[in-house]
Amino acid sequence: MRKLLSQNKVIITTYFFFYLLIWIGLSLLIYDANALPIDVAENIAWSKHLQIAFDKHPFLGAFFIKLVLPFPPSTMVANLLASSICLLVTLLYTYKVTKLFMSKNESIVIIILSSCGGIYTALNFVDYSQNSIVLPFWVMSCYYFTLAMRSNKVIYWITLGLVCALGLYAKLEMGLIILCLALYLVFNYKREYLSKVFISFWIFIVSLIPLIWWLFYTNFALINYALNRYSGLRATDHNIIINFLLAQLNNLSTIGIIAVPILCILILLKIGIFRIEKNIETTFFKRLRQPLVCYGIYPLLFFFALQTYKVHIEYGWLIPIMSLTLPAIFYLLNIKINKFSLIKIVNVVLCFQLLIFIVYNLFGYFTPMKDPRTLSNHVALKAEEFWQQNENQPLTNVIGYFSIYITPFISDIATAHRSFEDTRIPTNTVSLGVLSDCNTKDNDAYLKSLGYTVGKQECITIDRVGRYSKQKQNFTLYILEKS
């Protein structure tokens, strides 16, 4: 038995080594060292001037990338390192949660299968974002909630309160799983929970005092952003029946996130690497009331209901929501996995990992769509040269949608303002402006209508990187002063 356990540890370690080798090592071979996805560039820009929250998200995502940035040799390495840390911690706690409801072997198989799904590969690996940083806290909250409910130990309730609060500092979507946990607690309440829940709740509230203060201080900018994003998700102009059918197609498409693990399972069954046996120890309706189903299925049902109303909601919402969906499906269907060969399972999954990597990057290489990361640091270098030619003072403000592709590369003190209408832009201060075309007449009129004094300007052309067909893009750089 000890020999078998030792062999399994070696196999699991080897698997995750090759998993990281594919998604970090091969990515570094094919990506430009300064090719940043837009979420990464945004977090790096925010990290230059940390505060409790920003106009879109709380601070934890920017804070974590700030901790990582000094060590890697390039921003791309920092991006992949930050993302991989978040995903590995999530997988570790997914294993811990799953092992509370299933056997150790089943839990190992589930996390290996999960790691080839959409949450742990492709865009979500190479693009560190708020979805990345909230994932560990989402799954950790489920783990400590289960332990707290089972043992009622105060240490687990305290940890739960802290983890839930930190999750909200990562992304406000964390509130959805907190709501699910709270509802589950209400329907499964025991008198002995009262004092411990009270302690957990107050630790949670006290931990959130800075964020609550910030919301009032900024007139609820974060909440307004979230509401505006939701209200901006308009239903189509079709009639109600067509809208409903389109929404159900979108709901059905969410299976894409776990489609590869499901395909792996079907292949493994077909070639007889493991066998699934039906377990009749518990009933389906009894399992519906279990915590793991609450964690992996109920948030998804909420998403389906919301998407049915709005027809389409952005993909990013599903990353934390579906983090425990695969384990929950296994548990809900009462599936038991036995008589499997771990080495063969790992070989099959690694083949899929490599296939996903190749397909994802070939699509990115040949697609004609403009990807912000293909800008690299080219805009930043020309902006720095333009500023040095026209101004002797340090650059403190960069304005425009693409400002986040300038400040991470050329300045540790400059603040990026993505909108020219941002009320926080200081007046009577010289700033650098950037617009994504060279339509000088319209650009000048637009800037002057917002109260800017337009100084020197220059049209630049940069070459995008990482594309089969050569792509160029024009930008206009401005010396501006807001009156």
Provide the terminal-to-terminal Cα distance of the chain, rounded to the nearest Å.
76
- Reading the block at residue 93, the tokens are 């706690």
Of 218 and 125, the structure prediction assigns the larger pLDDT to 125
Residues 358 and 401 in one domain: no
CB 398 within 8 A of CB 383: yes
pLDDT at 65 (0 to 100): 95
Q: Are 264 and 113 in contact (CB under 8 A)?
A: yes
Pair 473, 337 in one domain: no
Amino acid at 184: Y
Neighbours of 237 (CB within 10 A): 7
Phi-psi region of 376 (alpha: psi -120 to 50; beta: other; left: phi over 0): left
Do 163 and 273 have their domain in common?
yes
The pair of three-digit structure tokens given for residue 18, joined into one six-digit string: 């090759």
- For helices 38-47 and 75-99, the axis angle rounded to 10 degrees is 100
Mean pLDDT taken over the chain: 87
92 and 203 assigned to the same domain: yes
Hey, what are 111's tokens? 């996390």
332 vs 114, residue with greater confidence: 114
Please tell me whether residues 449 and 317 are part of one structural domain. Answer: no
How many structural domains does the chain have?
2
Q: Check whether residue 319 and residue 460 sit in a common domain.
A: no
- Whole-number pLDDT of residue 62: 95
Contacts of 1 (CB under 8 A, 6+ apart): none
Helix (H) or strand (E) holding 473: strand 472-482
Mean pLDDT of all residues in 18-44? 90
Among residues 129, 69, 29, which one has the least CA distance to residue 409? 69
Beta strands in 152-274, from DSSP E residues, in sequence order = none
Tell me which residue of 275, 259, 266 sits closest to 348, measured CA to CA: 266
Tens digit of each residue's pLDDT (9 = 90 or more) over 402-452: 888 888 888 778 888 888 888 888 888 899 999 988 888 888 888 999 889
Which range of residues forms the domain containing residue 143? Answer: 2-366
Sign, Cα dihedral of 255, 177, 314, 63? negative
The three-point CA angle 75-78-82 to 5° equals 145
Last residue within a domain, chosen from 313, 346, 366? 366
pLDDT tens-digit readout, 325-362: 999 988 888 777 766 688 888 999 999 999 999 999 88
The pLDDT tens digits for 136-192 are: 999 999 999 999 999 999 999 999 999 999 999 999 999 999 999 999 999 998 899
Distance CA 459, CA 205 (A): 51
Q: Which amino acid is at 221?
A: A
Q: Residue 9: its pLDDT value, please?
A: 86
Q: Is residue 350 domain-shared with residue 453, that is, in the same domain?
A: no
Residue tagged 């998407």 (tokens) = 307
- Tell me which of 5-9, 222-226, 469-473 is least confident: 5-9
Q: Are strands 472-482 and 430-435 parallel, antiparallel or unpaired?
A: antiparallel
Which of 366, 385, 409 represents a domain boundary (last residue)?
366
Please indicate, yes or no, whether residues 406 and 320 belong to a single structural domain of this protein.
no
Tokens for 425, please give them: 């832009």
Does one domain contain both 341 and 271?
yes
Contact (Cβ atoms closer than 8 angstroms) between residue 254 and residue 322:
yes
- 239 shares its domain with 97: yes
Q: Does the pLDDT of residue 302 top 80, yes or no?
A: yes
Q: Are residues 401 and 441 in the same domain?
A: yes
Beta-carbon contacts of residue 145 (< 8 Å; ≥ 6 apart): 160, 181, 184, 185, 291
Q: Which of 347, 366, 385 is the last residue of a domain?
A: 366
344 and 266 housed in the same domain? yes
What's the CA gap between 52 and 59, in Å, rounded? Answer: 5
Rounded to two decimals, the pTM is 0.92
Longest CA–CA span in the chain (Å) reads: 77
Q: What is the pLDDT of residue 466?
A: 66
